Amino acid sequence: MRILGIETSCDETGIAIYDSHQGLLGHALHSQVALHADYGGVVPELASRDHVQKTLPLIRQVLDESGLKAADIDGVAYTAGPGLAGALMVGAGIGRSLAYAWNVPAVAVHHMEGHLLAPMLEDKPPAFPFVALLVSGGHTQLVQVDGIGQYLLLGESLDDAAGEAFDKTAKMLGLGYPGGPILAKLAQQGNPERFRFPRPMTDRPGLDFSFSGLKTFALNTMHANKQDEQPLDQQTKADIALAFETAVVETLVIKCKRAFKQTGLSRLVIAGGVSANQHLRSRMDELCKQNNAQVYYPRLEFCTDNGAMIAFAGCQRLLAGERQGLEFSVRARWPMEELAAI
Ligand code: KG4
Ligand code: ZN
């Protein structure tokens, strides 16, 4: 089965074609970073308008680059949530309409299920069951995954998501948008001995997270290290960036270790935008080595939003017989536990 995947939940238009026998046949991404940069964050209305302009040309491009025609497509998968409602409506509207015009089935895909299954596009896919750490701009979740659609939420962020905390802290440091990767780059020049940030919610049992306090801690550290009215020097910024990143990474490591203990599982999938972070990857590699566990990540370009993960997840659900009716809707919020097992 050959599936066209469409992702428009936030600030990237992602298109891909996945074949259940041949694997990924083509994919392309249009990032809206330049469009939102002046505003320091995603402007939902601008995001929707840009998806309107980019989605169809990108679908044409991916079909052409894959040497395929519309008639070669057996189904259409589109992200139906969670995300920005207007942005989701664009991909869902185009996806459902194309499926109707091409007389093939359509399926609505959950964005976080897409992230969660993204490591299955790699050569050594993880076997079920496993623990998944989902770390994106909108979500931080630990999930026990027994199969596709069999998700038990073990813990989640009670306030800011990990990526959101990266972005907000980067903004405070004046680093620009999107802050996560920029802050991570600056942190490479940081002195690890200078500041120590807390590891929130690790001193009590449980697998929930809270990252909003780290942002305040970063702000207080900035104020405490300002010389009169002078802007912060670059080295202090780098030291704060590293202390912040280390606190997020170590907190995630502590919780993953706990999740291994609680579930008895020894496979860990890490996905979502923050899984591109190299500091996080090297510490998670160490954790898994120490615990005789296996760790799985998507390739770097499929950590952040993309069409390939949606085409893949949609393909699995279409193969299992799932179908979207002729009507369609999107959900800005959509708990993953509501998904049907396949
Ligand atoms: O999964 P994603 O593309 O979008 C959502 O579903 O939210 O994740 C985007 C998030 C942003 O907050 C971005 O700053 C963060 O992932 N991110 C990173 C890195 N690359 C992306 N955070 C830390 N280090 C990185 N290298
Ligand atoms: Zn995402």
Give the DSSP per-residue string, 25-72: EEEEEEE-HHHHHTTTS--HHHHHHHHHHHHHHHHHHHHHHTT--GGG
Retrieve residue 259's tokens.
């999740």
Q: Are 134 and 112 in contact (CB under 8 A)?
A: yes
Name the stretches of the chain with pLDDT < 50: none
If we measure between CA atoms, which residue out of 144, 146, 115, 150 comes closest to residue 132?
144
Quote the ligand 1 centre to 191 CA distance (angstroms): 24
Which string of DSSP letters, residue by residue, matches 86-154? Answer: HHHHHHHHHHHHHHHHHT--EEEEEHHHHHHHGGGGSSSPPPSSEEEEEE-SS-EEEEEEEETTEEEEE
Q: Is 261 helix (H, G, I), strand (E, B) or coil?
A: helix
Residue with the smallest CA separation from ligand 1 atom 8 is: 273
Give residue for tokens 């891909």: 16
Q: Is 136 in the pocket of ligand 1 (CB under 6 A)?
A: yes
Q: Give the amino acid at 334.
A: W
Burial classification of residue 67, based on how many CB atoms lie within 10 Å of its CB (0-12 exposed, 13-18 middle, 19 or more buried): exposed
Q: Is 10 helix (H, G, I), strand (E, B) or coil?
A: coil
User: For 278, left (φ over 0), alpha (ψ -120 to 50), or beta?
Assistant: alpha
If we measure between CA atoms, which residue out of 301, 62, 41, 259 comes closest to residue 171?
41
Q: What is the pLDDT of residues 152-161, one digit of tens each?
A: 999 999 999 9
Q: What is the pLDDT of residues 294-325, one digit of tens each?
A: 999 999 999 999 999 999 999 999 999 999 99
Q: From the CB of residue 334, how many other CB atoms can be counted at a distance below 10 Å? A: 19
Retrieve residue 244's tokens.
């912040």
Give the H or E element holding residue 81.
strand 75-81
Q: Is 302 in the pocket of ligand 1 (CB under 6 A)?
A: no
CA–CA separation, 84 vs 9, rounded Å?
A: 6
Quote the ligand 1 centre to 74 CA distance (angstroms): 32
Angle between helices 162-172 and 234-263 (to 10 degrees): 170
- Looking at the CA of residue 9, tell me the nearest atom of ligand 1: 6
For the entire predicted model, the pTM comes to: 0.97
Q: Is 138 in the pocket of ligand 1 (CB under 6 A)?
A: yes
What pLDDT sits at residue 62?
Answer: 99
- Identify which of 112, 166, 248 to mutate to test ligand 1's pocket (most ligand atoms within 8 A of the CB): 166
- Looking at the CA of residue 163, tell me the nearest atom of ligand 1: 12
